[in-house]
Amino acid sequence: MQSCGSVGSLEKNKTTKMFKDNLIKIKGGSYDDIKKALKQWIMLYSNELGNNIKFELYKIEQESYMIVADKRLNNEKFNYLINYLRHPEEIEYKIDIEGYTTAREEKTYSKRLLNKKIIVYVPNNDKEYDNVFVTTEDSETYKIDFSGKVTLQNESKTFFTPDFDTTLLQRPERISLNKQEIAEIEKEKSKNRLKKKFRFILSLIVTLIFINYLSLVIIPQKEIGSITTFTLIFSVGVWFHSDYKMLRIDKYFLYCFIIAIADLLYGIMINKYVTLIDFSFYYFCFPIIFLIIQKPLRLYFIRKLDREPIVEKESSGWDVVYNISLIILPVGIILAIANFM
């Protein structure tokens, strides 16, 4: 790839004719990492990008790439793309990146930059991660903060336009916004997040049980034993009630049912053999009774209203009835069992 400066009016007119909006030059990194970072950004903004928006990724030479972004990509999103490619998530590389476009949006830039051709880049020493720098065709450099602040910089950078001919390059890989593919990837990511969250909370509960048993049996500490016992009583039930999306997956519902049984058996054991503190093992019944009620109640709700119940704060109507029932019914059953026994 060649480049030409903007010295002299004739040369400036020449580069103006060759200028192409939403062009990105990258040096460094691997092709696969650049492609991965681009696809990650597309997924990140999939709900805000237009349908069928396309990007062309060219490999120019070893560790040298070019992206031609869709013309519909506005200034704000173009800046976000430059910033993300410079600082992608879960990708380690060192690259130099420059984007070429025209400042058209006053909300992103300012009136003094409008309709000027600009180079958008992120300096190698950037530590803020929420801005880009632009150099105008007048060779003025500005810092564009993503909060909306535009400040003139003392930094000197010469404006130039890359001279390229895509006909001389290998055919690009076209990367488009595929809603179905993105939905599948998001679904898989959601499963992985759920798995990590489940394991993390379960490890906390196991640790809590260990500390509780230690303070009640091995090294008796009444205060610690009381705190950990009542924390354990409420934590499992609160976890199941708050993590309602987890219970929609049969596999995790089964896991939770096993955990609830183990929690109940542990409660019965310490209630029978530990005299350090006084409590009723009936409290440990809440998680398993909650699960026994939750699944059929949820399925009945879906069958009647043809949708999942809303558990968040904005729930109303039958959703409120559903949420209240998940608290009142288990508590009522526990009180009835306690009175009967």
Query: What is the pTM for the complete model shown?
Result: 0.58
Exposed, middle or buried, 189 (CB in 10 Å: 0-12/13-18/19+)? Answer: exposed
Contact 143, 120 (CB under 8 A): no
Asked whether the CA dihedral 34, 35, 40, 42 is positive or negative, the reply is: positive
Give the pairing type, strands 96-102 and 173-176.
Answer: unpaired
Rounded CA-CA distance 52/60 in Å is 25
Lowest mean pLDDT among 72-86, 134-148, 191-205, 307-321: 307-321
Q: Which two tokens stand for residue 64?
A: 């040298």
Q: Which tens digit of pLDDT belongs to each residue from 228-246?
A: 999 998 999 999 998 998 9
* pLDDT band for position 2 (cuts 50, 70, 90): very low
Q: Does 29 score more than 50 pLDDT?
A: yes
Q: Are 239 and 206 in contact (CB under 8 A)?
A: no
| C-alpha span between 273 and 269 (Å, rounded) | 6
Mean of the per-residue pLDDT values of the chain: 86
Residue 154 phi, psi dihedral angles, 5° rounding: -80, -15
pLDDT score for 275: 80
Predicted confidence (pLDDT) at residue 17 exceeds the cutoff of 50: no
Most confident residue range from 35-44, 288-297, 313-322: 288-297
Q: How far apart are CA 255 and CA 243, in angstroms?
A: 13
Q: What is the mean pLDDT of residues 105-133?
A: 89
pLDDT at position 297 is 94
Which residue in 306, 264, 302 sits closest to 282, CA to CA?
Answer: 264
pLDDT in tens, 251-298: 999 999 999 999 999 999 988 888 877 777 788 999 999 999 999 999
pLDDT, tens digit (0-9, with 9 covering 90-100), for 183-231: 777 788 888 999 999 999 999 999 999 999 999 988 888 899 899 999 9
CB 14 within 8 A of CB 160: no
Amino acid in position 127: K
Query: What six digits make up the tokens of 92?
Result: 């380690």
Residue range 53-76: mean pLDDT, rounded = 90
Average pLDDT over residues 162-166: 65
Amino acid identity, position 230:
F
Distance CA 156, CA 179 (A): 42
pLDDT of residue 12: 39
Question: Where does the pLDDT of residue 163 fall: very low under 50, low under 70, confident under 90, or very high at 90 and above?
Answer: low
Residue-wise pLDDT for 50-59, tens only, equals 777 889 999 9
Closest CA to 134 of 155, 107, 164: 155
> What pLDDT was estimated at residue 166?
61
Residue 185 token pair:
């990837």
pLDDT(108) > 80: yes
For the chain, what is the total number of helices (H) and then of strands (E)?
A: 8, 11
CA distances from 341 to 136, 204, 279, 280, 291 (A): 82, 32, 15, 12, 22
Q: In this structure, what DSSP letter does residue 51 have?
A: T
Of these ranges, 45-49, 159-163, 309-313, the one predicted with the greatest mean pLDDT is 45-49
Q: Which whole number is the average pLDDT over 149-159?
A: 83
Query: Which of helix, strand or coil describes residue 118?
Result: strand
Give the confidence band of 13 by pLDDT, cuts at 50, 70, 90: very low
Least confident range from 24-38, 67-81, 148-162, 279-293: namely 148-162
Q: What are residue 137's phi and psi, to 5 degrees?
A: -65, -15
As a residue count, the chain comes to 341
Of 255, 277, 253, which Cα lies nearest the Cα of 267? 277
pLDDT at 6: 36
Helix (H, G, I), strand (E, B) or coil at 335: helix
pLDDT band at 107 (very low <50, low <70, confident <90, very high): confident
Does residue 3 carry a pLDDT above 50? Answer: no
String of DSSP letters for 202-252: HHHHHHHHHHHHIIIIIS--HHHHHHHHHHHHHHHHHHHHH-TTGGGSHHH
